[in-house]
């Protein structure tokens, strides 16, 4: 992926931190999901007083896209930190990795973990979810 696109995704994910609703943990996460056509779907984490219904930023972005008929995903950029302060990578939780497995090719889908535009690393879904169970297992 081009560096300009990586930087755009990082900027977009960071902007989502303002919308993150986290009165309980204070841990703010932003996501920017890139489709193969070049569209970007955004997401933030949304907490709940009953805790369990909390939705992660990554799944917010993925479900927004899927609910609009879009499933051809190329990459997702994730940023996060306590009180929105970005000091280290916020890696996706196991549930989000599994949701990515449902819609993304584990060999090619790129997960960009970023602190800022100077510090980021790119992983494939396969690297973050080795031996994942997905739709192809049910064929
Ligand atoms: O993959 C993850 C992991 C956690 N969170 C959120 C959920 C919760 O609001 C907060 C603390 O777990 O971080 C995400 O958005 N994405
Ligand atoms: Zn998650």
> Which of 19, 90, 129 gets mutated to test ligand 1 (max ligand atoms within 8 A of its CB)?
90
> Which of 27, 48, 100, 111 gets mutated to test ligand 1 (max ligand atoms within 8 A of its CB)?
27
Helix/strand/coil for 78? strand
Tens-place pLDDT, residues 106-136: 999 999 999 999 999 999 999 999 999 999 9
The residue whose C-alpha atom lies closest to atom 10 belonging to ligand 1 is: 27
Q: Does the model's ipTM exceed the 0.90 cut?
A: yes
**pTM score, whole prediction:** 0.97
Q: E strand or H helix at 27, and its extent? A: strand 27-35
Instruction: Write the DSSP string, 109-121.
Output: -EEEEESSSSSEE
**DSSP code of 90?**
-
Is the distance from CB of 113 to CB of 120 less than 8 angstroms? yes
CA distances from 3 to 33, 111, 128 (A): 16, 14, 22
- CB 17 less than 6 A from any atom of ligand 1: no
What pLDDT, on the 0 to 100 scale, is given for residue 94? 98
Looking at every residue in the chain, the average pLDDT score rounds to 98
Tens-place pLDDT, residues 49-96: 999 999 999 999 999 999 999 999 999 999 999 999 999 999 999 999
Is the distance from CB of 109 to CB of 125 less than 8 angstroms? yes
- Pairwise CA distance, residues 49 & 117, whole Å: 34
Q: Of residues 58, 102, 107, 118, which has the active-site annotation?
A: 58
Q: What structural domains and CATH numbers belong to the chain?
A: 3-130 (3.40.140.10)
- CB 27 less than 6 A from any atom of ligand 1: yes
- CB 93 less than 6 A from any atom of ligand 1: yes
């Amino acid at each position: 992926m081009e560096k300009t696109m990586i930087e755009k995704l990082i900027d977009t994910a960071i902007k989502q931190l303002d919308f993150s609703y986290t009165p309980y943990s204070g841990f703010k996460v932003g996501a920017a999901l890139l489709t193969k056509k070049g569209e970007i779907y955004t997401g933030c984490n949304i907490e709940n007083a009953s805790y369990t219904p909390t939705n992660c930023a990554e799944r917010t972005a993925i479900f927004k896209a899927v609910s609009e008929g879009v499933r051809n995903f190329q990459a997702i950029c994730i940023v996060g930190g306590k009180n929105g302060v970005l000091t280290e990578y916020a890696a996706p939780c196991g549930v989000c990795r599994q949701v990515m497995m449902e819609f993304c090719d584990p060999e090619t889908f790129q997960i960009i973990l970023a602190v800022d535009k100077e510090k980021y690393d790119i992983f494939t879904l396969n690297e973050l979810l080795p031996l994942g169970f997905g739709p192809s297992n049910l064929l």
